[in-house]
Amino acid sequence: MSNKPVTFSVTRNDGTLDGGKRSAAVNTDPQGKAQVTLTLGSHAGSGENQVEATFPGNTGPPVTFVASGVIPGDPLNTSFSGIVLTNTNQPVPGATISIQGTTLITQTDSQGQFRLTGVPVGAIHLIMNLDSGYL
């Protein structure tokens, strides 16, 4: 649905959204998508950064995004991995994961897990496309 408000909030670590905010409200675009940019917090480790998204009238739990950060190593060994789950913590197989501006692309496995290797060092824009049955 287009032009609907979605509120994103940092709920774990000291990361920020859209250049310094802990919470950001944005409206969905004509395709029904809403996005913010997360700058990871100062704590490295698995699952140390968390953002929740919700919208008016949502009767279920908020959508939760979890990101992990580590201290940079050799750029040739840089990878990005994760897991895609539904709001009920069920894996989402077959989701397409890519990094904008690169040819890097993969799909989640039967457990919703993915891994991209040779990922550029620095800020990336991760894109996830789901089958409409998950929306």
Q: Tell me, what's the pLDDT at 135?
A: 52
Same domain, 78 and 30: no
Q: Tell me, what's the pLDDT at 134?
A: 57
Question: In sequence order, what are the beta bridge partners of 113?
Answer: 83
Amino acid residing at 115: R
What is the domain-level CATH number for residue 135? 2.60.40.1120
Q: Tell me, what's the pLDDT at 48?
A: 86
Full residue range of the structural domain in which residue 15 is found = 1-71
Same domain, 60 and 82: no
Half-sphere exposure of 130 (CA within 13 A, CB side): 13
Burial class (CB in 10 A: 0-12, 13-18, 19+), 15: buried
Amino acid residing at 53: A
Count structural domains, the chain: 2
Whether the Cβ atoms of residue 50 and residue 22 lie closer than 8 Å to each other: no
Integer Cα distance of 105 and 98 in angstroms? 4
The pLDDT tens digits along the chain (135 residues) read 889 999 999 999 999 999 899 999 999 999 889 999 999 888 888 888 899 999 999 999 999 999 888 776 777 788 889 999 888 888 999 999 999 999 999 999 999 999 999 888 878 899 988 865 655
